[in-house]
Amino acid sequence: MVIRGKWAQHPELLLARSRNGVIRVADLESEDMSSSTIYARCLPGGPWQRPLPGIVLLHNTEPTPNELLTAALLYSGAKSMLTGVAACRLHGLRPAALPKGDDLHMLIPHERKVRSTGFVTMERTIRFPEPKTIGEVPTAPLVRATTDAVRRLRESSPVEEVLIEAVQSGRCSPQALLWELNHGTQRGTAIPRRLLSSWIDIRSMAESRARTLSRRLPTPPSHWNCEVFDNRGKYLGRPDAWWDEVGLAWEIDSFDFHFRRADYSRTVNRNARYTASGILVVQTLPSRLRDDPAGVLTELIAAHEVAAARPRPAVRLAAAA
């Protein structure tokens, strides 16, 4: 006679003990289920599956992202939290700005020893942050999640994308991100620290891309972030880039990049001052520097030709004002 536990008569008990249909093997055993039965039910063709060691999913169809996240949390144990790219998604950063991939990066206290396996990367840390709960998921703060994400990237472009997205959200500053990188593990921090160090000294991260793109112009800008005045000493603006020989200004800005919509009215007023003083201005959205660099270059070359074909406006740089 085969003796079966209470789970056989009341299968709803297993779902009640689970989280999103995910349950630990230890919890199944506590319901009088033998390890051999658990193993057999997780074999190919069986009703369950085992996404991670010691973790069972109570169906045999494709796991959902939420089920995989639950499995990772159960596997990593108490006091663990999600960090990295997946945590950045939960914080609301745009998926298009984040690296692709379904792997989950978990932080655990340094004294815990849990192996990385499958789609889960475990990281023991002494600097264990206070988690933020997002939809019942303990999640690393955005600054920490962002720095953990970029430390695992090896090329400048995706690192730059993630950092820009985090700062554009209005919840991270370059200074805060750099502090986190400087006070944590140094593995993989060279690229993000270099980028953040340069961004602290310039008005926006978009200018970093603009400087790189400008090197491909036949005539690069003569100045960056210089103050421009008219002949009476009236302040006109501080263009991101300036061609002094022809009086051409290049501005890379928009209210969505500079975080506050109030900046939009200042942009309109600034451009009106440029126009009244005869300055030709090219205005570029930050996203175009990434998505349409060839188009931006074409516009700047054409604008420089137009500016060079007319008399230079009567304006001066700050040193001469």
List pLDDT tens digits, range 19-30.
889 999 998 888
Q: For the segment 131-142, what is each residue's pLDDT rounded down to a tens digit?
A: 999 999 999 999
Per the prediction, the chain carries an average pLDDT of 88
CA–CA distance, 33 with 28 (Å, rounded to integer): 6
Q: Are 123 and 171 within one domain?
A: yes
The structural domain count of the chain equals 3
Q: Are 195 and 275 within one domain?
A: no
Q: For the segment 33-72, what is each residue's pLDDT rounded down to a tens digit?
A: 889 999 999 999 999 999 999 999 999 999 999 999 999 9
Q: For the segment 276-298, what is each residue's pLDDT rounded down to a tens digit?
A: 999 999 999 887 887 899 999 99
Q: Are 192 and 214 within one domain?
A: no
Q: Are 188 and 214 within one domain?
A: no
Q: b/e per residue, 247-280, with b = 16+ CB within 10 A?
A: bbbbbbbbeebbeeeeeeeebeebbebbeebebb
Cβ neighbourhood burial of 298 (10 Å; 0-12, 13-18, 19+)? exposed
Q: What is the mean pLDDT of residues 230-257?
A: 86
Q: Are 181 and 163 within one domain?
A: yes
Which residues are registered as beta bridge partners of 125? Answer: 109
CA–CA distance, 97 with 74 (Å, rounded to integer): 29
Among the three residues 177, 200, 223, which one is the final residue of a domain in this structure?
Answer: 200
Among the three residues 153, 168, 200, which one is the final residue of a domain in this structure?
Answer: 200
Q: Are 278 and 308 within one domain?
A: yes
Residue 2 lies in a domain: no
Residue 307 lies in a domain: yes
Q: Are 37 and 122 within one domain?
A: no
Pick from 191-195, 200-204, 215-219, 228-232: least confident = 200-204
CA–CA distance, 72 with 80 (Å, rounded to integer): 9
Q: Are 179 and 120 within one domain?
A: yes
Residue 96 lies in a domain: yes
Q: What is the pLDDT of residue 126?
A: 92
Residue 3 lies in a domain: no
Whole-model pTM over 0.75? no
Q: What is the pLDDT of residue 22?
A: 95
Q: Are 192 and 282 within one domain?
A: no
Q: Is 46 helix (H, G, I), strand (E, B) or coil?
A: coil
Q: What is the pLDDT of residue 114?
A: 93
Q: Are 105 and 188 within one domain?
A: yes
Domain assignment of residue 123, given as a range: 78-200
Among the three residues 148, 166, 200, which one is the final residue of a domain in this structure?
Answer: 200
H-helix segments, the chain: 6-9, 12-17, 25-30, 35-41, 65-76, 84-90, 142-150, 156-168, 174-183, 190-200, 206-214, 262-276, 286-291, 293-308
